[in-house]
Amino acid sequence: MADARTFSLREIAAHLGGEVIGEAAAPITGVATLDSAGPTQIAFLANLRYRSQLDRTHAGAVILGPDERDATALPRIVTDNPYAYYARTVALFNPPPAVKAGRHPTAQIDPEAIVASTAEIGPFAVIGHGARIGERTSIGAACVVGSNVRIGDDTRLYPRVTIYHDCTVGDRTILHSGVVIGADGFGMAPDQGRWVKIPQVGAVRLGDDVEVGANTTIDRGALDDTVIGDGCKLDNQIQVGHNCVIGDHTVIAGCVGIAGSVRIGKRCRIGGAAGISGHIEICDGVTVSAMTLVMKSIKKPGTYTSALPLMPHDEWLKWAVHVRKDAKGETP
């Protein structure tokens, strides 16, 4: 946890905007849910399913949308997007650990690497030949940054991140523990009953303001680069195959598998455990529900679902008969 911080509503609004209603000077020590907040904490109402909790909350203040501005007598901040405001308020009270410029004595840094004087290089980190590390960037313990890798400013690599040679990471990007960027894509050519490995000579390019969750892997391209656009957010344990291109501000939940040469547009949302077959395109503004299997291109924005809802097994067997009949035009 960061050092304890205290802000008044007036100070919070000075940092983040919003309209303050009621007592503006009382100290606020943190953020909590409506159900658990105490009298020195600020809570938020972003989902009307929790509206009843507003009447019984013990919070000292709340964050509300315009439609709920008069729903309580508690001190409050009114904002157009309470959920985003809550996120920024949590960040205000809990800033990330400050970057401590310097190199740990156990770090191995190639003489030809260029490391900004304001960067932090943690214990047992390895920085390869010709790599460049930007200003105020933090490289955590036991990270490996390969030769000719470029990492921008204000980026944070948590412990045990591996970035293979020639890859690029933008500014203000976060890579969590266990992330692997630039491993070989899965390219094999059949030859007389055996497999010939296709050299993967492309790279990976991550844009600015990207976040990649723990143990996610992003493969390098076979010839062209794999590209992750600005503002993309990837959860834990995702596989991104070689030569994929993911558009700006797309979010992908945990355990999604994306085969090679997939193009995903901007501002898409991919639900957890979805599977996306190779060599297809998904246009901008598409939402794919959790556990959906995408086997053909999606050319029109909207929400797409193929996952089956939970039901008793006997009912599912009957349902499956009808699905197969509709698909084949005959009873199996």
Place of tokens 């953020």: 31
The pLDDT, as a whole number, for residue 330 is 47
β-strand pairing of 27-28 with 7-8: antiparallel
Q: Which of 44, 76, 93 is the last residue of a domain?
A: 93
292 and 171 both lie in a single domain: yes
Residue 183 lies in a domain: yes
Cα–Cα distance between 239 and 256 in angstroms, integer?
Answer: 6
- Local confidence pLDDT in tens for the 332 residues of the chain: 344 789 999 999 999 999 999 999 999 999 999 999 999 999 999 998 889 999 999 999 999 999 999 999 999 999 999 999 999 999 999 999 999 999 999 999 999 999 999 999 999 999 999 999 999 999 999 999 999 999 999 999 999 999 999 999 999 999 999 999 999 999 999 999 999 999 999 999 999 999 999 999 999 999 999 999 999 999 999 999 999 999 999 999 999 999 999 999 999 999 999 999 999 999 999 999 999 999 999 999 999 999 888 999 999 898 888 877 766 654 33
Q: Determine whether 322 is an active site residue.
A: no
286 and 177 both lie in a single domain: yes
| Domain range enclosing 63 | 7-93
Q: What are the beta bridge partners of residue 76?
A: 21, 62
The secondary structure element, H or E, covering residue 312 is none
Question: What are 137's two structure tokens?
Answer: 């960037």
CATH of the domain at 249: 2.160.10.10
Which among 242, 249, 279, 322 is annotated as catalytic? 242
Question: What are 148's two structure tokens?
Answer: 């000719």
Cα–Cα distance between 213 and 227 in angstroms, integer?
Answer: 17
Cα–Cα distance between 119 and 326 in angstroms, integer?
Answer: 61
171 and 293 both lie in a single domain: yes
212 and 77 both lie in a single domain: no
The pLDDT, as a whole number, for residue 67 is 95
Which of 266, 265, 166, 250 lies closest to 212, judged by CA? Answer: 250
Q: What are phi and psi of 83, to 5 degrees?
A: -70, -45
The pLDDT, as a whole number, for residue 1 is 38
Question: What are 297's two structure tokens?
Answer: 């291109």
170 and 88 both lie in a single domain: no
- The CA–CA distances, whole Å, from 287 to 129, 225, 270, 283 equal 41, 25, 6, 10
The secondary structure element, H or E, covering residue 178 is none
The pLDDT, as a whole number, for residue 234 is 98
Q: Which of 39, 59, 93 is the last residue of a domain?
A: 93
166 and 276 both lie in a single domain: yes
Q: Which of 69, 93, 117 is the last residue of a domain?
A: 93
Total domain count for the chain? 2
Residue 125 lies in a domain: no
CB 156 within 8 A of CB 139: no
165 and 67 both lie in a single domain: no
